[in-house]
Structure 1
Amino acid sequence: MENVENQTPLPSSQSCFQVSFQRSLYITLSICTLVIVVTLYNEFLNNPTITGLDDSTFPVTDVPFPGISVCSINKISKRKAEKFAELLANLTGKSRSLMINYIRQIGQLYDFDFIPSKVDDLLDFQKILNNSGFKLIDVIKNLAISCDELLVTCSWKSVSVNCSEIFQMKLTHDGYCCIFNSWNSSLGTRSKNRKSVLTASADMKNGLHLVVKNQLDDYFYSIISSVGIIIQIFDSINYPDKTSGSMKEILIENGTESFIEVNPTTYQAVQDVKDYPVEKRDCLFRRESPTVFGNMYSLSNCIVGCKIESALALCQCIPFKMPLSNESTICTLEDVPCLHRYRGTQMF
């Protein structure tokens, strides 16, 4: 008998092709998977935050009520201007009519509407105020329409309250206004024990109701060619500033009844976002970056802070309407030409 040896059959050309194809496919898929993973990881590092709709049934009782400003279009009371003119006339020996004309120039500190032919009046009146011991910021506030004069009755959540208990006379982008529910005072500080005012329910009865007295015969200097009041709606932690884009203004004409509907949008970030560097997430939490208002950061307050720095750099003073202006930094009548020069740039 012959011995037959077991021999391994040689692979066919088709089998070699299959093995090569499988290996190539495996390598290709592995490379593609690696590229996708690396790409997604890099995108996540560059954009780690995602904004999405969390819950459309967010309870309205958890929504903070906005800050509300009630501003008279008339920035200088005629009655107060005449009384102050009488006082200045007695102190300086100049005519009462001249003092009335000088007092009207204070309005240029509201709108920076400089009239070159009146530059001597500005300088003369500022000297009179300085020599008479009057502080400009006090004069502006005393000539403005007070909350007691502007607000007649107030109701909050269907309960009548004394307007002076819920409104304060504070500075806004439009000068002194009567403000409800604002964390920031005119000097940029806030109460340590301050709590958010929350919305009771989504109906008119649980909102803010006001009756306003607009004395047309007391108009002396208007910021626009109209009569009435301006309602400003803003985030309660923000300084009420129109140019930062965080405030809505509504003109209420004289002799009308108006109802204002507020549709809030709430943004919340999960705490895990804080673990990523600021340059990666491209956003800040409230207490992560100090502003001119303390430790309550917001984009609007940050913009206002930049505007204050711009005013100091360009005119070496801060317009009285901005927070943190004081006796040493406030822009006077002498600075109106500079304020007018940069008015169109919206620097301040």
Structure 2
Amino acid sequence: MRRNSVTIMFGNSSDEETRKAFLRSLMALSLMRYPYYNHPVSFHQSVNFSWLYEFKNEDIVEIMKEVNPTISEMFNKCFWRGSGYDCNDMFQPQVTEEGFCYSFNSKTAEFHNMSNSTSTFKKKNGEFETLRNNAAGKTTGVEIFMLTPPEEHRLPYDTFRPAGYSVMVHSPQDYPDSSCNIAVTEKADQVYRIGISVSETEGDSSLMHLDESVRGCKAVENKHFTNDNNCHLKCRTSEIHKMCNCTPYYLQTNSSKIQTCGIQHLDCLSLNNVRLRTSIAPKGIQGFPDWSTPDFMNCDCSQPCSYVTYDSELTISHVVTGKLTFANDPSFAYIDIAYKSPFAVKYIMLAQYDISDVFVSIGGVAGLLLGCSLVSVVEVMYYFGRYVYTLYKFRFPKPYPYLP
């Protein structure tokens, strides 16, 4: 949160108490995130604030974008596959349930900087190209040196969030899943290595002959589009609108006519905090007694038949020299994100029995119990036809020709 932005928006001649209320309200809104929608109210109660500054709901989105740190304020140096690049080219604004963030190699990001024709990270026709990597191990993926703005160390209140960053690893087609973030704090003598393991599950064409309720998964055209995170995000957005008649500032779009969740909606969000974490339980499946699902969202996010899973593992190690002296600023966090292995595990999900298996089973049972085969059936039909033809000839014999 940038204090100079607060000064610009609020002005220098304002009453000090009002300015403090304004700052407290900004902190409360910054805590409005999944899955801790109860934190803004807890923050307000823990410091015994008598009142907060109520923004105009239509201004909240622009205010939160204004106080959001820039790429230059967050990133010191950036590397991809061992080569250094401009962080402004590598990272783009990204909407997440943590708030406004910056993302690398995400198709769901907002490509504000891609208009720069000198950017390395775009196609010649101006479209974004998803990058791939065939290397694994240390320093073979994304390396970033994260700066911590000085304002993070001067917050006057406990906001339940330590100084640092949240790192989320996800598929390029998905929105980041904030419930699986990795917390990174700034320590100049530590290295945060995030190893990524990839597994792919592919649904066989034999599944398409079964009804969705039987196969237990949803057919998706693009196997790399996992869809699961996006479904839950849309479901939570719809549920918040239904319960509180608003939408969090980071989920607002230019075409949205729904009011933004403000200070007056914090209590409602807190009351529905547990509800927004779970969806409706599957029918006919054991292990979901009524007492274990007291409150849930009325939506069904079925598992896709084909999907790719990224598993992250954090390892923290110390630098031998005590400091990473090749960074310009001693107040930073070094993060190394790379694949753990150059290979991925692939699973194939197929139907246990398809149409051909059914015919083979019928033929096998018939041969076992009746002592016949397909050739025997044809022979039986042949001899039965000859028998019928012979009876017909004896029953209706041809008359002999007349002899004079």
The two structures have a TM-score, normalised by structure 2, of 0.54
Q: Unpaired segments of 5 or more residues in structure 1?
A: 1-75, 289-294
**Cα separation, 1, equivalents of 2:94 and 2:218:** 27
Q: Given the superposition, is the C-alpha separation of residues 239 and 137 from structure 1 closer, same or farther in structure 2, using an over 3 Å criterion?
A: same
Amino acid at match of 1:227: A
What residue in structure 2 maps to residue 298 of structure 1? 227
Q: Given the superposition, is the C-alpha separation of residues 225 and 328 from structure 1 closer, same or farther in structure 2, using an over 3 Å criterion?
A: closer
Residue 333 of structure 1, CA deviation: 2.3
Residue 81 of structure 1, CA deviation: 2.5
1:211 pairs with one of 139, 145, 148: 145
Whether 1:264 aligns to 2:198 is yes
Whether 1:329 aligns to 2:259 is yes
Residue 264 of structure 1, CA deviation: 1.6
Residue 195 of structure 1, CA deviation: 4.1
What residue in structure 1 maps to residue 61 of structure 2? 137
Residue 334 of structure 1, CA deviation: 2.3
Work out the number of aligned pairs and report it. Answer: 249
What residue in structure 1 maps to residue 210 of structure 2? 276
**Higher helix residue share:** 1
218-227 vs 198-207, which moves further:
218-227
Whether 1:251 aligns to 2:181 is no
What residue in structure 2 maps to residue 235 of structure 1? 171
Q: Unpaired segments of 5 or more residues in structure 2?
A: 32-36, 112-121, 278-296, 298-404
What residue in structure 1 maps to residue 247 of structure 2? 318
**Cα separation, 1, equivalents of 2:176 and 2:162:** 21
Residue 271 of structure 1, CA deviation: 3.5
**Cα separation, 2, equivalents of 1:230 and 1:250:** 5
Amino acid at match of 2:234: G
Amino acid at match of 1:196: T
Whether the 8 Å CA contact 2:61–2:250 is kept in 1: the answer is no
Give % identity: 14
Residue 182 of structure 1, CA deviation: 1.4
The two structures have a TM-score, normalised by structure 1, of 0.62
Amino acid at match of 2:259: T
What are the superposed Cα offsets for residues 154-196 of structure 1, whole Å, 9 maximum, x if unpaired? 1111121111111012221211111111121369xxx995443
2:219 pairs with one of 285, 305, 309: 285
What residue in structure 2 maps to residue 147 of structure 1? 71
Residue 205 of structure 1, CA deviation: 3.3
Aligned partner of residue 232 in structure 2, secondary structure: helix
Residue 139 of structure 1, CA deviation: 0.3
2:95 pairs with one of 150, 171, 178: 171
What residue in structure 1 maps to residue 19 of structure 2? 99
**Cα separation, 2, equivalents of 1:268 and 1:248:** 26
What residue in structure 2 maps to residue 199 of structure 1? 133
Q: How does 1:6-85 map to 2 (within 5 A)?
A: 76-85=1-10
Whether the 8 Å CA contact 1:79–1:218 is kept in 2: the answer is no
Whether the 8 Å CA contact 1:227–1:254 is kept in 2: the answer is no
What residue in structure 2 maps to residue 183 of structure 1? 107
Q: Given the superposition, is the C-alpha separation of residues 253 and 236 from structure 1 closer, same or farther in structure 2, using an over 3 Å criterion?
A: same
